[in-house]
Amino acid sequence: MSLPADASAIAAAVHQGKTTATAVIQDALQDIAQRDRSLNCFTSTVAERALKRAQQIDQARQAGQPLGPLAGVPFAVKNLFDIAGEVTLAGSKINRDGPSAPQDATAIVRLEQVGAILVGALNMDEYAYGFVTVNHHYGATPNPHAPARIAGGSSGGSAAAVAANLVPLTLGSDTNGSIRVPAGLCGIYGLKPTYGRLSRAGVALFSASLDHVGPLARSVRDIAVSFDAMQGADTRDPVCTQRPPAATLSSLEGGLDGLRIGLLADYFEQGLQPEAASALDQITTALPISQKVTLPETSRARAAAYLITASEGSQLHLRRLQTRLMEFDPATRDRFVAGALIPQSWYLQAQRLRRWFQAQVKAVFEQVDILIAPTTPCIAPFIDQETMMIEGQSVLMRPHLGLYTQPLSFIGLPVLSVPVTQSDTLPVGVQIIAAPYQEVQILRVARWLERQNIVAPHPYTP
């Protein structure tokens, strides 16, 4: 069976009694068992737990109890989210020897509180250090629209599972672009909220001062519903905001009224390949762009983000690098070691540059409410591709995928990557960016574009 279009449609069918949560989950698990052999999104499923939860929801409906807005919706998480009783792999082989998680990650708990049902864990780059989801231990997750190409990463399993209709909703994490890059390359929506907006408790960290979690889905509504459900303070995450939750769903149809929209220029125009340029054109033609905006020193900001990531990530894994070096994925190992050797003065300069850059960009948001930029410079590269040509120069493909995402997560801005409707080309995304804590403005713009059919999930043909 193919699932209805999105999570909200599934939940509506369960609410109305057109189907049961049990039937939805049984179908999803069966579908995953059959199709994931080639899609390679899942690293594990939790069938027993999922069916039990489904039964509880069906019983609640029969008893006339109220159901949540995601009742009966199957979802899955990048395998760095803790699942009670399971070992949290974070894409590694080393972690298999660790203890199983004592409890679910907060984000899972909150989605299940509104009726969603966890069905499994998804493939990723080892310890989230990559943009490709080509994992030495668990294989590559191919792009569902072009299996010789990457899904993007590091939340590649999360993006591909939604793109291929295995589940309508997943969770990923984003440090430098790891939700937005795969969402863009797989042709779906991926939200990286404001830094600290959603709890990361029970999520294996990569670079603590840059890590975010967020949802990937097939509609703006699903992004809003899941984002709203996951909001709220959490004492288990030291950076989780104390601000009260700001619901977005009720404001989705607010349109563009009162929003000043700018296009990021200069740095964000360099190296843009034709498919990504035409996707950006479609968005900027549709939206009332009032000005082009240049962020100062964006290139230095990106480099500083890299230094922070490499320093923090390597320090986090130092003990494992000391004792189990050759069990790392070769694709992350050498970068982790190199990162461990970064002088502290470089790291602190990067953290100071971050503060400076934040102040510059804050001033920009006095002139505009929304900024637009491409998500990636190109469509999905081939799985074995090492370099790409950008303006006549050969550059390393893997790090280059984060060119436009990295400077924005550096200062924790909320960003949604939207899938632009284009025929005859592989998917590519555009980023909609707002000031900190203004996710609602982003979602209003995305919903407006969705209503005009300018953004939509890339059609999947198995």
Partner 1 sequence: MSSSHSLPEPLAADLQVYVKQSAALLGLALPDEVFPQVVENFERVAIMAQPVLDFELPDTVEPAAIFEP
Q: Report the catalytic residues.
A: 78, 154, 178
**Which letter does DSSP use for residue 382 in this model?**
B
Q: Is 346 in the site for partner 1 (CB under 8 A)?
A: yes
Q: Which among 396, 430, 362, 355 is positioned nearest to 184, based on CA atoms?
A: 430
Contact 453, 446 (CB under 8 A): no
Going residue by residue from 192 to 211, which x/- string records binding to partner 1, judged by CB under 8 A? ----x------------x--
* Residue with Cβ nearer partner 1 (12 or 331): 331
* Residue with Cβ nearer partner 1 (45 or 311): 311
Contact 43, 79 (CB under 8 A): yes
Residues between 382 and 401 that touch partner 1 (CB under 8 A): 390, 393-396, 399-400
Q: Is 325 in the site for partner 1 (CB under 8 A)?
A: yes
Residues in contact with partner 1, total (CB under 8 A)? 45
In residues, how long is the chain? 462
Cβ burial, residue 47 (10 Å; 0-12/13-18/19+):
middle
Question: How far, rounded to the nearest angstrom, does the alpha carbon of residue 213 sit from its chain's CA centroid?
Answer: 7
Shortest distance (Å) from residue 235 CB to partner 1 = 12
Q: Is 437 in the site for partner 1 (CB under 8 A)?
A: no
Going residue by residue from 211 to 240, which x/- string records binding to partner 1, judged by CB under 8 A? ---------------------------xx-
Binding part of the chain for partner 1, among 53-61, 109-117, 177-185, 350-358 by CB under 8 A, reads: 350-358
Using CB under 8 A, pick the residue from 250, 299, 367, 452 that binds partner 1. 299
Using CB under 8 A, pick the residue from 9, 12, 246, 318 that binds partner 1. 318
The owner of tokens 């707002």 is 434
Binding part of the chain for partner 1, among 154-162, 256-264, 304-312, 444-452 by CB under 8 A, reads: 304-312
* Residue with Cβ nearer partner 1 (101 or 318): 318
Binding part of the chain for partner 1, among 36-44, 126-134, 147-155, 345-353 by CB under 8 A, reads: 345-353
Q: Which among 9, 449, 446 is positioned nearest to 220, based on CA atoms?
A: 446
Q: Where are the alpha helices (DSSP H) in 365-453?
A: 397-400, 406-409, 439-451
Rounded to a whole number, what is the distance in angstroms from the first to the last CA of the chain? 13
The owner of tokens 């700018």 is 262
CB pairs under 8 A, 24+ apart, for 35-39?
A: 35/164, 35/166, 35/462, 36/166, 38/142, 38/147, 39/141, 39/142, 39/144, 39/160, 39/161, 39/164, 39/166
Shortest distance (Å) from residue 125 CB to partner 1 = 16
Tell me the one-letter amino acid at 344: Q
The CA angle 119-120-123, to the nearest 5 degrees, is 150
Which phi and psi angles does 221 have, rounded to 5°? -60, -45
- Helix H or strand E segment including 111: helix 106-113
* Residue with Cβ nearer partner 1 (244 or 258): 244
Binding part of the chain for partner 1, among 43-51, 142-150, 340-348, 454-462 by CB under 8 A, reads: 340-348
Binding part of the chain for partner 1, among 54-62, 143-151, 258-266, 335-343 by CB under 8 A, reads: 335-343
Residues between 249 and 288 that touch partner 1 (CB under 8 A): 271
* Residue with Cβ nearer partner 1 (69 or 271): 271
- Point out which residues bind partner 1 (CB under 8 A): 196, 209, 238-239, 271, 297, 299-300, 303-304, 306-307, 310, 318, 321-322, 325-326, 333-335, 337-342, 346, 348-356, 358, 390, 393-396, 399-400
